[in-house]
A and B are shown apart, each in its own frame.
Chain A
Amino acid sequence: MEDEIQPLLNPTTASASPSVATSGASFTALLGLPPNRAVELLHEPTFPSDPALVDRAARFSVFAAAAAASSAPSPEVSPPPPPPETAKKRKDGASTNGKAKVKKGKHAEEDTDGENKLPYVHVRARRGQATDSHSLAERARREKINARMKLLQELVPGCSKISGTALVLDEIINHVQYLQRQVEYLSMRLAAVNPRIDFSGLDTFLSATTMECGRLTIGNAKVGTELDQQQQQPVWSEVGVSDSDQMNSTTNSKRLQIQLQQNQLQQFWHVDFLNTQNHLQPSVWERDTVMGSTAPHVQREEQHSFVGPGAVPLLSFDRVNPVAPPIQSNQQLKMEL
């Protein structure tokens, strides 16, 4: 065994250096060996570790990748230097005597999406920390939780200044309760206001304008549940505007425009309706067929550049981001909401 290991060891010792990148080379050399021997070799210097555990870990983490790739391990492992480093879920920290300290990196998301081969969460052990699989998993979990907490902190206003998880959680809970109370309060006010508004015109107008938008969403939500689509169909049909009847809807829209101008909403609901109807339609259909669920945001942007003046970001209710794409229309506003 020694003789076949010697030639492999020679390049590794030759290239041994404190840098992280070349430390990968030494490992890739090991990959040429069958698993057992590699593990043995790796743990020869020191440790009375649990061989079964390490063996399993080694086999699954590294050699599963190698097997899946079904090519020479080194080109597969080397390309982006950090991830293959993390692929070694072993006792790196202690066993790499003299090697540079490995960076801590968590590649959970990237592993599942980017590489597509490694189903594992690869967490690197920091120097001097416990590296058995249990604590690694726990650390991964803790990191996930911390990442989510940071996300929530960004969402909830005024939370980024607070330090300490308990207070942040309190703040989040308060915010959720506040939002729910707001919904109740606003629904009460809407109930008071409601009888005054003529909703029938608004209804058909909305369905016609957002039909294209809805088709976009239907196309994008293809990946979503079937339920969603099924529930959309009755909603559309209930409104009473047929899908294929574009001409009717345009006439309806003209009527609606007139009607709406008499409403109180006229400041808000001006739409260059005809243009959008005619221009949006072909683009939407082809977009739908071509793109499944990719980048709805991008699609809408493209639509607007397609249409030109008077393009309407339909029902862009988020006042937060006044839409960059053509707000050229001072003539006929879109939803100045």
Chain B
Amino acid sequence: MNRKNPLPNSNPNSPNSSMQALHFLQALARIARAAPKPAHSARTRQIRHAAYASMAHSSRSSRRTWSRALLHRLRQWQQQRPGRLLTVRRRVRIVTPITSRPEEPARAETLRQLVPGGRGMEYCNLLEETADYVQCLRAQVQLMQTLLDAFSS
């Protein structure tokens, strides 16, 4: 695979990915040690939560906007879980016209929804955050794939 890392702060073998891996594995261990719930969906959710948390905690991304927004979102998910049926999801935040500018292409709004924390950013910063987010996501997916392969062979 030829994967170029054009960003100056990304090294393929840096401790970033290992720290990410470590966090994820520790979280997995925690999940496994905890009372093994038979509910498959609960476990899935926990693992997904752990995946995003370890992504946000990697040292490369600790200075990024998206990691902070992602942590915030994770906390919301955690708090929302217990009383999920009762809370009404209200769209408190109105997408203000600040986020959409005339020069931006039409897809920018979709991108903002995808990337955590994308609402408050300018287009130029959004692109940068997207690049970092994609890198982190990729590393996470690779990590999980590797774990799966290791565990099932």
With a cutoff of 8 Å between Cβ atoms, the chain A residues found around residue B22 in the complex are 206-207, 210, 213-214, 315
With a cutoff of 8 Å between Cβ atoms, the chain B residues found around residue A180 in the complex are 114, 137
- B43→A194 contact, CB < 8 A: yes
Query: Once bound together, how far apart are the Cα atoms of A200 and B123, in whole Å?
Result: 45
With contacts A169-B108, A264-B153 taken as known, whether A200 is within 8 angstroms of B127 at the C-beta atoms is: no
Contact with B150, one of A173, A265, A313 (Cβ below 8 angstroms)? A265
Summarize A's interface: helix, strand, loop or mixed. helix
Pick from B47, B106, B143 the residue with the most CB of A within 10 Å.
B47
Query: Once bound together, how far apart are the Cα atoms of A22 and B29, in whole Å?
Result: 67
Please report the number of residue pairs spanning A and B whose Cβ atoms sit closer than 8 angstroms.
207
Pick from A141, A149, A318 the residue with the most CB of B within 10 Å.
A318
Segment at the interface with B among A55-63, A182-190, A242-250: A182-190
- A154→B62 contact, CB < 8 A: no
Closest residue of B by beta carbon distance from A152: B131
Q: Is A116 an interface residue (CB 8 A)?
A: no
Contact with B114, one of A154, A165, A176, A183 (Cβ below 8 angstroms)? A176
Contact with A152, one of B21, B26, B48, B134 (Cβ below 8 angstroms)? B134
- B130→A199 contact, CB < 8 A: no
Contact with B15, one of A149, A190, A264, A296 (Cβ below 8 angstroms)? A296
Q: Is B87 an interface residue (CB 8 A)?
A: no
- B151→A197 contact, CB < 8 A: yes
With contacts A210-B18, A297-B14, A321-B12 taken as known, whether A186 is within 8 angstroms of B145 at the C-beta atoms is: yes
B87 to chain A, nearest CB (A): 22
What is the size category of the interface that chain A forms with chain B? 35 or more
- A319→B146 contact, CB < 8 A: yes
A251 to chain B, nearest CB (A): 20
- A214→B137 contact, CB < 8 A: no
Query: Once bound together, how far apart are the Cα atoms of A173 and B105, in whole Å?
Result: 13
What is the size category of the interface that chain B forms with chain A? 35 or more
Q: Is A151 an interface residue (CB 8 A)?
A: yes
Q: Is B59 an interface residue (CB 8 A)?
A: yes
Q: Is A314 an interface residue (CB 8 A)?
A: yes
With a cutoff of 8 Å between Cβ atoms, the chain B residues found around residue A300 in the complex are 13-15
Query: Once bound together, how far apart are the Cα atoms of A189 and B146, in whole Å?
Result: 12
Summarize B's interface: helix, strand, loop or mixed. helix
Query: Once bound together, how far apart are the Cα atoms of A169 and B4, in whole Å?
Result: 19
With a cutoff of 8 Å between Cβ atoms, the chain A residues found around residue B30 in the complex are 238
Query: Once bound together, how far apart are the Cα atoms of A176 and B130, in whole Å?
Result: 9
Query: Once bound together, how far apart are the Cα atoms of A170 and B108, in whole Å?
Result: 9
With contacts A169-B107, A316-B18 taken as known, whether A199 is within 8 angstroms of B62 at the C-beta atoms is: no
Instruction: Show the binding face of A for B, using Cβ within 8 Å.
Output: 141, 144-145, 148-149, 151-152, 154-156, 165-166, 169-170, 172-173, 175-177, 179-180, 182-184, 186-197, 199-200, 202-203, 206-207, 210, 213-214, 216-217, 220-221, 224-225, 227-228, 231, 235, 238-239, 264-265, 268, 296-297, 300, 313-321, 323, 337
> 8 interchain pairs (CB within 8 A)?
A173-B114, A182-B141, A183-B52, A183-B141, A188-B47, A197-B151, A297-B11, A318-B13
- Beyond contacts A165-B105, A179-B137: 19 other A-B pairs, Cβ-Cβ < 8 A, are A154-B4, A155-B135, A169-B111, A173-B107, A176-B114, A183-B48, A190-B147, A194-B31, A203-B29, A217-B18, A228-B59, A235-B26, A313-B13, A315-B17, A315-B21, A316-B17, A317-B17, A318-B139, A321-B13
Instruction: Show the binding face of B for A, using Cβ within 8 Å.
Output: 1, 3-4, 6-7, 11-19, 21-23, 25-26, 28-33, 36, 40, 43-44, 46-48, 51-52, 57, 59, 62-63, 105-108, 110-111, 114-115, 123-124, 127-128, 130-131, 133-135, 137-148, 150-153
